[in-house]
Amino acid sequence: MPLRLATFSDIGPISKILAASFYDEELNDHIFPFRKQYPHDYLSVWKQKTVTGWWDYSKVWVVWENEDGLTGPNTTSGTTITGVAQWGREGEGSDRLWGLVRWWDPRRLISPFLSFIYTVRRFFIRNRSVAQPTPADPNPLNKWNFGPRLWPFTSHYFTHPAYRRNHWELCTLAVDPAYQRRGIGQQLVAWGLERARTDGLPAVVIGATDTEPFYQRCGFKYLVGYASKAELEDEKDLDSSKATRLDKTNPLNARGLGGGAIMWTELRDEDEK
């Protein structure tokens, strides 16, 4: 079966696929303007994201293992990984995904602890592939502040009564550029949609630029808005996050970036609200 849950030894190949498939994305020009000069530093950011994600007990990595028998840079133990997805379970029940005891289960601390270690490490060893503050952009986007900075603009697409707090989310999806358009992406999406159906929950994705037709075809029928065009709903959300304090304009919009289609598989019935 080419589709399976990832193992710890897949972290290297997963990071490489993420780094390669997002390499030419418009957003990367802002987040990693020096990725060509410092490929090792660029890959190391993806590795950090993959490792912290691995220890996040509300999320799960799924991989597509190629069956053509060829070996390459993404080969471990004789198999080649050509596609990856990270699915997450939000709201009640997310602790049951990996069998956490309760909210106080100490394993929940592993991922934030690793993020802290990586933050300290970055303080001493600067990552040379990422954007540095300049007078024109004193608070550049990076892989660590991107989510918290965007959240005040997009939160209502998740918390509004039209959407359900308990849901599955496709957090990341990437297929090795050499293996795209062979149905692998669709299979990785189908895995999570099946889990959502089994749990009786909807699923949501925030799509990269121009991926709307792909996701609509996969089953995310309801495009409810764009992260890049979203406006601030409530300024107090912004003040609660240190990372966003300097940026009261949408960080994507302010940089002329598009994309970020927020797409649900189903919306809540009017009478359920």
Tell me which of 130, 173, 201, 252 binds ligand COA, using CB under 6 A: 173
Tell me which of 107, 217, 245, 248 binds ligand COA, using CB under 6 A: 217
Q: Which two structure tokens, joined as six digits, stand for 249?
A: 């304009």
The residue (of 98 and 222) whose beta carbon lies closer to ligand COA is 222
Q: Can you tell me the distance from the alpha carbon of 109 to that of 106, in angstroms, rounded to the nearest whole number?
A: 6
**Cβ proximity of 149 and 251 under 8 Å:** yes
Q: What is the CA radius of gyration of the chain?
A: 19
Three-class SS state of 52: helix
**Residue 202 within binding range of ligand COA, rule CB under 6 A:** no
Instruction: For the CB of residue 272, give the shortest distance to ligand COA in the complex, in Å.
Output: 28
| CB-CB neighbours of 118 under 10 Å | 19
The residue (of 22 and 168) whose beta carbon lies closer to ligand COA is 22
Tell me which of 94, 211, 250, 265 binds ligand COA, using CB under 6 A: 211
> What is the total count of residues that contact ligand COA (CB under 6 A)?
19
Tell me which of 210, 231, 234, 239 binds ligand COA, using CB under 6 A: 210
Provide the residue count of the chain: 273
**Residue 183 within binding range of ligand COA, rule CB under 6 A:** yes
The residue (of 182 and 197) whose beta carbon lies closer to ligand COA is 182
Q: Can you tell me the distance from the alpha carbon of 252 to that of 207, in angstroms, rounded to the nearest whole number?
A: 14
Q: Can you tell me the distance from the alpha carbon of 240 to that of 257, in angstroms, rounded to the nearest whole number?
A: 25
Distances (CA, A) of 32 to 56, 143, 151, 187, 232: 24, 9, 21, 29, 26
Tell me which of 40, 92, 138, 181 binds ligand COA, using CB under 6 A: 181
Q: Can you tell me the distance from the alpha carbon of 169 to that of 265, in angstroms, rounded to the nearest whole number?
A: 10
Instruction: For the CB of residue 43, give the shortest distance to ligand COA in the complex, in Å.
Output: 16
Instruction: For the CB of residue 229, give the shortest distance to ligand COA in the complex, in Å.
Output: 17
The residue (of 178 and 254) whose beta carbon lies closer to ligand COA is 178
Instruction: For the CB of residue 213, give the shortest distance to ligand COA in the complex, in Å.
Output: 4
- What single DSSP character describes residue 250? -
**Cβ proximity of 30 and 131 under 8 Å:** yes
Tell me which of 134, 213, 236, 273 binds ligand COA, using CB under 6 A: 213
Q: Given the rule CB under 6 A, which residues bind ligand COA?
A: 21-22, 173-175, 180-186, 207-208, 210-211, 213-214, 217
